[in-house]
Amino acid sequence: MLKKRIIICLDVRDGKTTKGIKFKGNIDIGDPVEMAEKYYRDGVDELVFYDITASAEKRGIMIDVVERVAERIFIPFSVGGGIASVSDMRRVLLAGAEKISVNSQAVKNPSIIEEGASIFGRQCIVLGMDAARDPDMPSGYRVFINGGRTATDLDALAWAKQAEKLGAGEFVLNSIDADGTKNGYEITLTKMISDNVGVPVVASGGAGKPEHLEDVFKNGNADAALIASMVHYGDYTVQGIKEYLASSGVPMRM
């Protein structure tokens, strides 16, 4: 049985790690380079770095921060935010990332997924999807872009299926409704996407305690769980979370 992964997310704004609730009210909480090294030494399986205002501000990603993080850690490292072309993808990979996450730009230009997968391999291409509940959509969930600021006409399930066909090798599924609440992942959304695509799905948004990860692994069929607040504020450690999950029957990399 494939082991489940714990991934820590570093949302970065103006060179600082930041955290908000439901994509709003962000406050700065630390230096992303120092935090990345700490979590690597704590035993996290992967890290994700999001430049959360790059797309909205129509600028490129802060490549210098990516380079400094990559110098300190030796685990898979995904980078997203402001990646608008294959050239941007190449810069991020050369700066030391193993994966590229596309979100808003992929909605605006879906061919970027296909181009990136063709050149770098689909294992490098991660689709970040920000979704919120909407009863007017066929699946019950609508896709948002620009850091959750802009609603689209895309249905979450339809977009996931399209992106997989284009070459996305993994999904990071961000629930806007659950983000930062510490009340648990959006299980319905996660299970729906996981059961309908053939690539790994990372659940994101809402983790507040180890039981939430157990729930999304066992009932949401997630391949990995992304966490932020529960470790950023010192409530839990990576090792403690892994020990709880392993004792609950979830296969983990210890």
Annotated catalytic sites, by residue? Answer: 11, 130
Contact between 164 and 199 under an 8 Å Cβ cutoff? The reply is yes
Exposure on the CB side of residue 16, measured as CA atoms within 13 A? 9
With tokens 């030391």, the residue in question is 96
Provide the sign of the torsion angle of the four alpha carbons 131, 190, 211, 47, taken in this order. negative
CB 199 within 8 A of CB 155: no
Instruction: For residue 37, report the phi and psi dihedrals to the nearest 5 degrees.
Output: -65, -40
Q: Quote the CA–CA distance of 217 and 223 in Å, as a whole number.
A: 7
Of 130, 170, 178, 173, nearest to 154 (Cα)? 130
